[in-house]
């Protein structure tokens, strides 16, 4: 027995999505087969409309459907802090924490020589003219090897511009127990300890 060609094509396209292997793609395709036509049409047009409407903010490279994103066009945001993140999803995550009122800059990746990603593949160059002397730049790339390397690279670029460069804190996540925290995190949480007594 052979798969019908349109089923083969659908499974192939679905398995190109990240985190979806051939088995999941097949399961998804069979699921979609059972859905009413309107649902499939809604999914297909959501895909096409998102691709048509969405692009990167001309200032910070966050996802937007306007020329400038919501954050960049909001004058009430603190214009003296820029938080540098890897991906648009990181902006959402930080906004959700409610702890930040400054601007963003989205790199769209991290430096990764192993995967052939050098500084030219990231939105690093447009960051430099945004940084003024005395401004704070928070490097909020991930605490992975690549995230750390990217932060170090940016630190070296930004310090000569007179920026006040900081790195998000390493530490124990909320709800974490010391027993189950890995030794690197624990070591860094100790080094980064914060004084709480006022004497």
Site string for its own copies, 61-100 (x = CB under 8 A): --xxxx--xxx--x------------xxx-xx--x-----
- Asked if 105 and 123 touch (Cβ cutoff 8 Å), the reply is yes
156 near its own copies (CB under 8 A): no
51 near its own copies (CB under 8 A): yes
Bridge partners of 84, per DSSP, are 105, 139
In 3D, which of 89, 56, 90, 59 has the Cα closest to residue 77?
Answer: 59
Task: Compute the distance between CA of residue 121 and CA of residue 118 in angstroms, rounded to an integer.
Answer: 6
- Asked if 104 and 85 touch (Cβ cutoff 8 Å), the reply is yes
Residues 74/78/96/73 CA torsion (nearest 10 deg)? 20
Counting residues that bind its own copies (by CB under 8 A) gives 58
**Number of neighbouring beta carbons within 10 Å of residue 139:** 21
Choices 47-55, 131-139, 153-161, 173-181 (CB under 8 A): range interacting with its own copies: 47-55
Binding to its own copies, residues 122-151 (CB under 8 A):
none
Task: Compute the distance between CA of residue 137 and CA of residue 127 in angstroms, rounded to an integer.
Answer: 10
Nearer to its own copies, 28 or 168 (CB): 28
Residues 138/139/144/149 CA torsion (nearest 10 deg)? -150
112 near its own copies (CB under 8 A): no
Which tokens is 136 given? 């704070």
**Number of neighbouring beta carbons within 10 Å of residue 64:** 21
Minimum gap (Å) between residue 65 Cβ and its own copies: 4
Nearer to its own copies, 91 or 151 (CB): 91
Q: Which of 21, 22, 53, 192 binds its own copies (CB under 8 A)?
A: 53
22 near its own copies (CB under 8 A): no
24 near its own copies (CB under 8 A): yes
Nearer to its own copies, 21 or 192 (CB): 21
Minimum gap (Å) between residue 50 Cβ and its own copies: 4
What is the binding site for its own copies (CB under 8 A)?
1-7, 9-10, 12-14, 16-19, 24, 26-34, 37, 39-54, 63-66, 69-71, 74, 87-89, 91-92, 95, 108
């Amino acid at each position: 027995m052979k798969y019908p060609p349109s089923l083969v094509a659908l499974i192939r396209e679905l398995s190109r999505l990240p985190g979806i292997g051939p088995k999941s793609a097949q399961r998804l395709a069979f699921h979609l087969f059972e859905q009413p036509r309107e649902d499939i049409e809604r999914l297909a047009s959501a895909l096409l409309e998102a691709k048509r409407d969405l692009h990167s903010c001309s200032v910070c490279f966050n996802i937007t459907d306007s020329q400038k994103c919501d954050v960049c066009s909001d004058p009430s945001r603190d214009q003296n802090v820029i938080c540098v993140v890897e991906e648009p999803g990181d902006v959402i995550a930080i906004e959700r924490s409610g702890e930040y009122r400054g601007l963003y800059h989205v790199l769209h990746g991290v430096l990764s020589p192993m995967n052939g990603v050098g500084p030219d593949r990231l939105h690093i160059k447009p960051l430099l003219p945004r940084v003024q002397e005395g401004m704070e730049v928070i490097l909020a790339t991930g605490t992975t090897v690549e995230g750390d390397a990217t932060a170090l690279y940016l630190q070296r670029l930004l310090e000569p511009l007179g920026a006040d460069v900081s790195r998000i804190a390493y530490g124990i996540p909320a709800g974490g127990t010391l027993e189950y925290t890995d030794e690197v995190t624990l070591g860094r949480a100790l080094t980064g300890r914060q004084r709480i007594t006022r004497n």
